[in-house]
């Protein structure tokens, strides 16, 4: 394969990858990012194919097989579990909000720690009454 | 260049051009379903072009079978991903109603809800 084909094709794929990454950054919802991410896997497969043809490395074909099998796992997982996102989590928090959130988490951990130190035995007994009986 | 190299070059360039066009589509289209429509092109047809080009340019029998396996796996997994994304996109309201020409799923859901309404209200 001639060098010209490789360079022209590679340039097209690079531009395509940049455009997809812009969509991933911009995408209003998680599902848009998922679709773009799936497509990015397709671009990577195209790059590997053209690279393999240019250098004659036939071992890269195995990488293509693996990517074709595994590429969809991410989008299925995201569509199944992360598709519902609260309105509030779509934007980037300001630094004050981040501080308030950190303080809330810290307080909750602190409280949890104190409580688990005090009443652990009792809560275990309440949670697993049958293990108490058997022993 | 030999005939095989010509075929491989044409296939590679077609696949790359398809990927680029689809990337432009994904960037510019307005909502989730249209973006999915654009994103499917390089995943199936573009990949087939690239794989045919690679098979012709490598010219090995065993590798051609392996590349056929790549296309088969992609055919099996791409619809699964598209189905899941489309379904959860519809359920979480990412579909823009004003851009749809036909929306049979909403009509069917409304009809089923209406059919199930009388027994549930009487009981």
> Domain range spanning residue A96?
92-134
| Residue A69 and residue A108 in one domain | no
The domain total for chain A is 2
Closest-approach residue (CA) in chain B for A64: B70
Phi, psi angles (nearest 5°) of residue A25: -70, -40
**Whole-angstrom Cα distance, residue A82 to residue A96?**
26
**Whole-angstrom Cα distance, residue A80 to residue A48?**
29
**Whole-angstrom Cα distance, residue A117 to residue A32?**
45
| Residue A83 and residue A96 in one domain | no
Q: Estimate to the nearest angstrom the gap between the alpha carbon of A23 and the chain centroid.
A: 15
Note down pLDDT in tens along chain B; length 123 residues: 788 889 999 999 999 999 999 999 999 988 888 888 888 888 889 999 999 999 998 888 888 999 999 999 999 988 888 888 888 888 887 777 777 888 888 888 888 888 887 665 544
pLDDT in tens, A44-54: 999 999 999 88
| Residue A110 and residue A97 in one domain | yes
| Residue A49 and residue A109 in one domain | no
Domain termination residue (choose one: A72, A87, A102): A87
| Residue A21 and residue A38 in one domain | yes
Q: Which of residues 45-74 of B touch A (CB under 8 A)?
A: 46-47, 50-51, 53-54, 57-58, 60, 63, 66-67, 69-71, 73-74
CA-nearest of A81, A15, A84 to B26 is A15
How much is the ipTM here? Answer: 0.84
**Whole-angstrom Cα distance, residue A73 to residue A76?**
5
Closest-approach residue (CA) in chain B for A10: B16
């Amino acid at each position: 394969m001639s060098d010209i084909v490789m360079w022209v094709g590679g340039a097209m794929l690079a531009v395509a990858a940049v455009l997809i990454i812009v969509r991933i950054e911009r995408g209003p919802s998680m599902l848009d990012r998922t679709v773009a991410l799936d497509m990015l896997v397709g671009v990577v497969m195209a790059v590997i194919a053209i690279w393999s043809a240019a250098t004659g490395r036939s071992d890269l074909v195995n990488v293509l097989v693996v990517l074709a099998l595994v590429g969809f796992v991410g989008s299925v997982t995201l569509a199944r579990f992360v598709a519902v996102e609260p309105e509030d989590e779509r934007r980037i928090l300001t630094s004050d909000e981040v501080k308030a959130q950190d303080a809330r988490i810290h307080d909750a951990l602190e409280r949890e720690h104190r409580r688990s130190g005090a009443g652990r035995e009792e809560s275990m007994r309440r949670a697993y009454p049958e293990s108490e009986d058997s022993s | 260049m030999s005939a095989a190299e010509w075929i491989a070059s044409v296939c590679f360039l077609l696949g790359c051009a398809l990927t680029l066009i689809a990337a432009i589509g994904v960037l510019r289209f307005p909502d989730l379903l249209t973006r999915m429509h654009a994103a499917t092109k390089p995943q199936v047809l573009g990949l087939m072009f690239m794989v045919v080009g690679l098979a012709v340019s490598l010219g090995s029998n065993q590798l051609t079978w392996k590349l056929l396996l790549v296309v088969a796996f992609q055919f099996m997994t791409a619809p699964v991903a598209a189905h899941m994304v489309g379904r959860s996109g519809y359920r979480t309201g990412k579909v823009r109603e004003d851009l749809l020409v036909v929306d049979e799923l909403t009509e069917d859901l409304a009809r089923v809800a209406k059919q199930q309404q009388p027994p549930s209200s009487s009981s």
